[in-house]
Each structure stands twice: as structure tokens, then as C-alpha cells.
Structure 1
Amino acid sequence: MPEGHAISTAPVAAGAPTPRGGQGRIYRFDAARPERLRLAVTDVVDGFTSWRLASALARLDLKNRYRGSVLGPLWVTLSTAAMLLGIGLLYGQLLGIALGEYLPYLAVSLVAWGVISGTVLDSCGAMIQAEGIVRQLRVPHSVHALRCAVRNAIVALHNLPLILLVFLVFGHWPGAEAIMVIPGLVLLGINAVASCFLLGMVCARFRDIGQIVASVMQLAFFMTPVIWKPDQLRVGHVFLLLNPFYPLLEVVRGPLIEGGASAGMWAAAVLVTLVHAGVAFAFFVRFRGRLAFWV
């Protein structure tokens, strides 16, 4: 029986037929127990305590994904490198930006966007792929969300050498403000886990959502300043702030490229993170007990 669907008992009313077994009680499923919050918190705590299990499952996923491949995850690095070189040479001329200035900006942007986009798309199948475990084993559901986030973090690590290589070639080295990339990555990681919770459960219930998310992320790539700079936007700067991906991208890119992100950008990134994590946790609390029926 899935957790969260507890059994409540009540005496049989006078004159009512006695249930089979003669116990004088009837059993009802109570899906609206006030203990949902406690069970969800326990699930999250147990899941993060079992981070070694999530990491092992994430590594196993990548091994299975690239089984029979010679380069394995390095294909992601080569793909990003080809995209960096192609877009850099073309858009650098179209936008009128010197290659030595544009390529470091583009390298950080593409790697950071790869983490965001890859995690969002992978989140759609986070719970569906764990169907066998969800149905048969008593493993915290949060392990599957953490497994998805760790899997994408490992893939992102394969792209980090591209940033170092571009910085080395063009002699671009950030100053002391580069230390601020650490809290930026923390915010990015929290959003990644929240996405695995929220989209993982939503897409388990409504399988069409994954296709919608894929289409939205394709559009978001061009609407977010990844291959172009925000200061090149002549009008619509206010609407750019409505893009939730922009502040998350900027708090990672700013410390490495532009001398740090502004206080307003950090405030926007924190706000996006709090809203995203809050919605994801509320959804997890409300529908955690139904996940076994959805996958």
C-alpha cells in the first residue's frame, strides 16, 4: 500500500451488516491525512541522507546510456565544443563583438544553459524511469529526484574544461569576484532538485507535459540572453526580468565574465528559487502518496 494512504477504522453502526471476519469494524482509506507534511519531510530527509544511493544510481544511468560508446559522456563535451565554435564564429560577426570578448561569454553561457535545459528536460522522466523502484521497493521518492539532479551534474562536469580552455586561449581570467559563482551554483542546484520533484511528478501524471516542456525550452533558448547580451536589447528590458531563467543564468555567468551580478539580479534569483522550491515541495506534500498510481 502506498505511503500516505493510511487506514482508519470506525465502529459499525447499529443494525449495519457486520463485515466479513466479524470484527465489527470497517476500514477506509484516508488520502487526506494531516500527516502528509510529516511524511513528505521524512521522505526528503531520508532521500538526502541516502545521497550515496542516488549517486550510485546516477552513475549507473550514465553507464547504461553510453554503453557500447567509445567516448561515453565526452560526446556531450564534443557537441558543446562544436556548438561553441560554430555559434562563436558566426554570431560574433553578426553581433559585432570581438572574438576574444564573445567566446568566453558564450562558453560560460552555453555550459550554464546546458545544465538548466538538460535538467529541466530530464526532470520530465525522473519518476517515470523509476517506475519499478517506486512500485516495488520502499525507497524514498526524493531519491529519484536527487538521482536525476546528480546525473545532470555529472554531465555538466564534462563541459567545465571547455570554459577553462577558452579562458586560457583568450587570456580571460576573472578576479576575486569569481568566488560568488559558488552561491550561484548553489541556487542553480536547488532549482535543479526542485525541477526534478515538480516536473517529475507532473509528467508522471500528465505524460503530454514533457512535449510541452521541450517546446518551451527550445523557445527559451532564444528568448534568454545565452548567445546574445542583455545590453544589446534595445527595448523590453523590463520583460526580460520576467524570464525566470535569466537571473539564474546571470548569477553564474556574471562572476566569471562581467565582474559579478548586480544585487537586483541576486534578489531575483533568490526569489525565483524560493517560489520554485516552494511550489515543488507543496506539490510533493499533496500528491506524494499518489505517485505509485501515476508511474
Structure 2
Amino acid sequence: MGPGSVGAMTVTAVAGARSWRRATDDLVGGWGQRELWGHLGWQDIRQRYRRSLLGPIWITISMAVTAVALGILYAGLFGNEISVQLPYILVGFIVWGFISGCISEGSEVFIANEGLIKHLPSPLSVHVYRLVWRQLLFFGHNLIVYAIMLIIFPQPLTWASLVALPALVLLVVNGAWVALALGMVTTRFRDLTPITQSIVQLMFFLTPIVWIYSDLLNSPDPRIAERARLAEFNPFLHFIEIIRQPMLGQDQHIRHWIVVLVITVVGWAATLVVLRRYRSRISYWV
């Protein structure tokens, strides 16, 4: 076999590793191993709270205490009724917990699973599905506080509120591509992990989670209203609103859904390109 044949085989191997077929097979194969990543997701929670009596409920309690404290504080600052401010903040916290978890943990999803990636012959997407599943379980735990809130502060829920279910599906789908894309990039450039986590903390204050966006938008001061409109450029606003509005029985706005759908399509398209090109290198980068 001559040098030319060896070179041709190398090029063919590299092209095969970067094929669209390999990228899509990874996603499909990972989804097919639902029993594996579903079990690992449960084990993550059990291991983290194995010596705790309440387990992951501690996260829910911590979130509820923080939401109540901020609800009382911001209700006084903005002159709102506690029955309006607290549910708004509480649901915002629940949704933000899922979003921030997918981003923060997604930035190190492959780094944290170095041992499994090197020794377990499974698709890379298994680790992403495991992460999103774990965050979804936390989301479910936090809904306990939402149910209690509905008893104390009843909301005008209707059948239209069921739109929160497809909104949650969209949130999960976006959480998957964000974790996958971030995981690949930060595995190659490790300095991006703390930067990503710092940005997440900053975006918490720039996103209408504890402050009510419509109050500022309808402010009698035109300068405040004009600055409030800048929040429309914040993608997290739209992801939170498509769930928070139906969960609070509020009128929904189609623009939030349009922005989320566009981000979903563009995000997955870009992630597939990155997955196609760099999937085969992850095991070397970790």
C-alpha cells in the first residue's frame, strides 16, 4: 500500500467522522438509550442528597424562601400587591432554575463526564439528555411550591393555561441544544466555563424575573418605558414569558412564541454544524 493510498484513507476517515450521518446518529442513538440516561439522572439526584432527609426538596425550599423574601421586598419597592408580585417572582424563579441549570451545567457537561466518555461506548448526546432530564426533575420538584402558591394566591387559570405544556417542551428542546453546543465549545476552551457562569448570573438581573416588565413598560416616565423596551432584545425574556403567562392565567403574546421558535430552529441548526465538525474530537479534548 503506497503513501497515496494511506493519505486517501485518512481523508476518508476524517470525512466520515465529520459526516452529517454520524452527527444525527449520535442524537438518535442517545435518545434510544433513554433507560441509561434516565437512570443516571435519577442517580445524580440520589447521590447528591443521599444523606439528606428531604433530598432535592431542599432546593425547592431554598427557592421558595428566596422568592418570598424578594416578593415582599419588590412588592414594597414597586408598590404592588404581594398577591401579584410574589406569584410573578415565584414562577420566574422556577423557569429560570431550569434555564440557568442547562446553561451552567451544560458548560461542563462533557468535562464532568470525562471518565464515562473515555470508557463507556455510548453517544455523546447521552450526557446531554441526562443533564436535561435531571433539570426537568428539579423543575418538577419546584412545581410543588407553585401548587401551594395557587392555593394561597388563586390565579385566573383557564384551558388556555395548558399552553404551558408545549412551552415547556420548547424549553427542554432548547435546553438540549444549548447544553450540547456549550459543552463542546467549553471542552475545547476551558476558560469559557467560568465566563459562561458569570454571564448567567448577570442575565438574572437583566431578565424580568423579580421585576415586572409590563409595569416598567407602562411607566408614566417615557424614559423608563423606552429603556424597558430594550428587554425585548433579551432572549431569556421570551422563554420565561411563554411559560409564566399561561401559568399565571395572563394574556399571551404571539411575539414571544415567534422569537422562541426562531431561536429553536437557528440554535439547533448551528449546533448540528458544530456537532458534525467536532463530535469526534470531544474524547480527545476531555
Is this a same-fold pair by TM over 0.5?
A: yes
> Does structure 2 retain, via aligned residues, the 8 Å contact 1:197–1:281?
no
Say if 1:61 and 1:151, in contact at 8 Å, map to a contact too.
yes
Shift of 1:150: 0.4
Change (3 A) 1:80 1:25: closer
Q: How much has 1:103 moved relative to structure 2? A: 1.4
Contact 1:109 1:249 in 2 (8 A): yes
Quick check: 1:97 aligned with 2:80? yes
Note the alpha carbon deviations across 1:259-282, whole angstroms, 9 max, x for none: 242111110111122222222222
Equivalent of residue 259 in structure 2, options 268, 280, 292: 268
**2:10 aligned to 22, 28, 52, which one?**
28
Q: Does 1:130 align with 2:113?
A: yes
Cα shift readout 1:114-144 (whole Å, capped 9, x = no counterpart): 1111121111121112211211221011111
Between structures 1 and 2, the one with greater helix share: 2
Q: Which of structures 1 and 2 has the bigger CA Rg?
A: 1
Give the CA deviation at 1:173.
3.9
Deviations 1:44-85 (A, max 9, x none): 111111111111011111122223222211110111011011
Q: Which protein is richer in strand relative to its size?
A: 1
| 3-state SS of 1:139 partner | coil
Contact 1:57 1:147 survives alignment (8 Å)? yes
* 2:31 equivalent to 1:51: no
**Is 1:231 the equivalent of 2:214?**
yes
Q: 2:239 matched to which residue of 1?
A: 248
In structure 2, distance between residues paired with 1:34 and 1:123: 23
CA 1:190/1:106 → structure 2, altered by over 3 Å: closer, same or farther? same
Q: Does 1:88 align with 2:71?
A: yes
Partners of 2:157 and 2:246 within 8 A in 1 = yes
Checking the alignment, whether the CA contact within 8 Å between 1:175 and 1:259 is kept in structure 2 is no
Contact 2:18 2:278 in 1 (8 A): no
Identical positions, percent: 31
Matched, 1:287 2:281: no
2: distance between equivalents of 1:65 and 1:260?
Answer: 39
Residue in 1 aligned with 2:130? 147
**Cα pair 1:123 1:196 within 8 Å, conserved:** yes
Structure 1 residue identity aligned to 2:255: G
Provide closer, same or farther for how the CA distance between residues 25 and 160 of structure 1 changes in structure 2, counting only shifts above 3 A. closer
Q: Which residue of 1 aligns with 2:219?
A: none
**How far has the Cα of 1:25 moved from its partner?**
5.7
Q: In 1, Cα distance between the equivalents of 2:241 and 2:6?
A: 60
Other-structure match for 2:139: 156
Q: CA deviation at 1:238?
A: 4.0
Q: Distance in 2 between matches of 1:290 and 1:89?
A: 50
Contact 2:111 2:187 in 1 (8 A): yes
Matched, 1:189 2:180: no
For residues 3-18 of structure 1, the aligned pairs below 5 Å read 11-12=2-3
Task: Indicate if the aligned counterparts of 1:251 and 1:260 stay in contact, CA closer than 8 A.
Answer: no
Distance 2:65 2:270 in 1: 37
Does 2:281 correspond to 1:278? no
* Amino acid aligned to 1:101: V
Per-residue deviation, residues 203-239 of structure 1 (Å, max 9, x unmatched): 2111111111111111101111101111233223442
Unaligned runs of 5+ in 1: 1-9, 14-23
Shift of 1:28: 3.0
Please report the TM-score for the alignment, with normalisation by the length of structure 1.
Answer: 0.88
